[in-house]
């Protein structure tokens, strides 16, 4: 009995001595990484990593946020992050990193390695916003807009629904991007973030499309808005067009879409879209005319614009809408069906059937 007590006492002491010290560091000994940018380095196989750091402070006044931008180039992202730690006096904390930007040059080469690193890090949030920076991530993160309440706040509000809500701005998350990179029949997209030096602010009104490897196509603002409406069913947008010597603006309040694909040798993709809303801008007494005629003209405008956009995306050999995935799901596709779809996708015929409903002309009817 005495030997057993001695044995358990010794075992308990061993457990106590084997326990390591607490690795927790106080807030004032940390740099919180709120945004991260990855660019192609000066060497073809190197990376330039830029981090936007938030410095914790007790009292924070508007426009007086304490922030710091650090950058480092290395053969790999992991090495660049380790070297960044050697030039700061506090521990880098990635738990609050909500924005990750890729430089355009890096996107043109491919982002497999950065995505692999981001997916492996346990402290990188899978709900972090992704975007493509022009001309590069370093210059975008270096910008410090006057409206920022705290470091990175301007970027957070641009992508999240807490701040501005623009039909030209698309939001993409890390988890969805990783899923699209491995999903059969669906390709990825990223919002493009540019700097507006005249206004000292960000401009997010374009979208970039990629295949499974690299950048393939960038849309202009009007095309980006149409993609947001049709692919994401974004209903806080507006469609403008000329009509009888004037210009009318149709504001959307609801968007419903549906896709049907035939199983012909060359499939036909029919995109159905129904949009309801009101005329936000038009000349006085404009609605005294023929409302069905105006709706018909809007439908023709949407049909033509959307068909042109779909053909442009098809010409770039990308599929952000996921038509290929829809085709396989509809016909219980196997490997043979997928190979057939990839072969005929450049020749797929697109048809758009829209239904526009003008519910009212605004607050004054």
- Show the tokens assigned to 107: 């996107």
Say which residue, 93 or 259, is predicted with more confidence.
259
Q: What is the predicted pLDDT for the residue at 312?
A: 97
Q: Residue 198's Cα: distance from chain center in Å?
A: 25
Q: What three-state secondary structure class fits 254?
A: strand
Q: Percentage of residues in the chain with pLDDT exceeding 70?
A: 87
In contact, 234 and 167? CB cutoff 8 Å: yes
In contact, 271 and 348? CB cutoff 8 Å: no
Task: Tell me the HSE value of 285 on the side-chain side, using a 13 A CA sphere.
Answer: 0
Q: What is the predicted pLDDT for the residue at 21?
A: 46
Backbone φ and ψ of 350, nearest 5°: -105, 135
Say which residue, 85 or 243, is predicted with more confidence.
85
Q: How confident is the model at residue 363 (pLDDT cuts 50, 70, 90)?
A: low
201-204 — which CB contacts under 8 Å span 24+ positions? 201/143, 201/145, 201/147, 201/154, 202/140, 202/143, 202/145, 202/154, 202/155, 202/158, 204/131, 204/158, 204/159, 204/166, 204/168, 204/169
Q: How confident is the model at residue 136 (pLDDT cuts 50, 70, 90)?
A: very high
Q: What is the predicted pLDDT for the residue at 357?
A: 94
Q: Which of 224, 209, 233 is nearest to 314 (CA)?
A: 209
Q: How confident is the model at residue 148 (pLDDT cuts 50, 70, 90)?
A: confident
Backbone φ and ψ of 289, nearest 5°: -80, -155
Element at 106 (helix H, strand E): helix 104-109
pLDDT at 290 over 70: yes
pLDDT digits 0-9 by tens, 23-64? 566 777 788 899 999 999 998 889 999 999 987 666 655 555
Say which residue, 200 or 82, is predicted with more confidence.
82
Q: What three-state secondary structure class fits 296?
A: helix
In the chain, beta strands by DSSP E = 30-40, 47-54, 67-74, 91-93, 99-103, 129-134, 188-196, 201-210, 215-218, 238-243, 246-261, 268-281, 349-360
Distance CA 73, CA 37 (A): 12
Q: Which of 273, 253, 270 is nearest to 360 (CA)?
A: 253
Q: How confident is the model at residue 327 (pLDDT cuts 50, 70, 90)?
A: very high
Give me the residue spans of the domains in the chain.
26-218, 231-365
Q: What is the predicted pLDDT for the residue at 157?
A: 84
- Show the tokens assigned to 28: 């004032």
Q: How confident is the model at residue 16 (pLDDT cuts 50, 70, 90)?
A: low
Q: What 3 state SS string does 20-63 have?
A: CCCCCCCHHHEEEEEEEEEEECCCCCCEEEEEEEECCCCCCCCC
- Show the tokens assigned to 252: 């959307």
pTM of the model: 0.87
Q: What is the predicted pLDDT for the residue at 315?
A: 96
pLDDT at 241 over 70: yes
Topology of the domain covering 231-365: GMP Synthetase; Chain A, domain 3 (3.30.300)
Q: What is the predicted pLDDT for the residue at 325?
A: 95
pLDDT at 238 over 50: yes
pLDDT digits 0-9 by tens, 191-217? 999 998 777 889 999 999 999 989 999
């Amino acid at each position: 009995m005495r030997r057993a007590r001695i044995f358990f006492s010794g075992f308990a002491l061993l457990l106590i001595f084997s326990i390591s010290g607490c690795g927790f560091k106080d807030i004032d000994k940390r740099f919180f990484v709120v945004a991260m940018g990855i660019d192609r380095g000066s060497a073809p196989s190197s990376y330039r990593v830029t981090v936007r750091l938030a410095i914790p402070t007790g009292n924070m006044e508007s426009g007086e946020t304490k922030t710091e931008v650090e950058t480092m180039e290395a053969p790999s992202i992991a090495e660049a992050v380790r070297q960044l730690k050697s030039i700061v006096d506090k521990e880098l904390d990635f738990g609050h990193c909500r924005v990750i930007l890729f430089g355009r040059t890096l996107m043109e080469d491919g982002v497999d390695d950065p995505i692999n690193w981001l997916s492996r890090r346990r402290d990188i949030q899978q709900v972090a916003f992704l975007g493509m920076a022009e001309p590069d991530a370093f210059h975008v993160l270096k910008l410090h807009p006057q409206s920022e309440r705290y470091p990175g706040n301007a970027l957070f509000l641009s992508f999240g629904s807490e701040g501005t809500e623009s039909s030209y701005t698309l939001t993409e998350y890390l988890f969805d991007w990783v899923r699209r990179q491995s999903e059969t029949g669906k390709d990825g997209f990223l919002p493009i973030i540019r700097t507006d030096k005249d206004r000292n602010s960000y401009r997010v009104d374009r979208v970039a499309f990629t295949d499974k490897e690299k950048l393939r196509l960038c849309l202009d603002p009007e095309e980006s808005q149409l993609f947001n409406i049709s692919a994401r069913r974004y209903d806080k947008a507006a469609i403008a067009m000329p009509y009888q010597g004037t210009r009318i603006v149709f504001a959307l309040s609801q968007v419903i879409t549906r896709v049907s694909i035939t199983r012909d040798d060359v499939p036909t993709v029919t995109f159905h879209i129904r949009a309801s809303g009101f005329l936000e801008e038009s000349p006085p007494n404009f609605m005294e005319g023929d409302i069905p005629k105006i709706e018909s003209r809007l439908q023709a405008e949407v049909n033509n614009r959307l068909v042109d956009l779909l053909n442009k995306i098809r010409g770039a050999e990308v599929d952000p809408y996921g038509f290929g995935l829809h085709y396989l799901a509809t016909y219980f596709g196997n490997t043979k069906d997928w190979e057939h779809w990839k072969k005929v996708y450049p020749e797929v015929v697109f048809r758009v059937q829209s239904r526009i409903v003008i519910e009212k002309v605004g607050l004054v009817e």
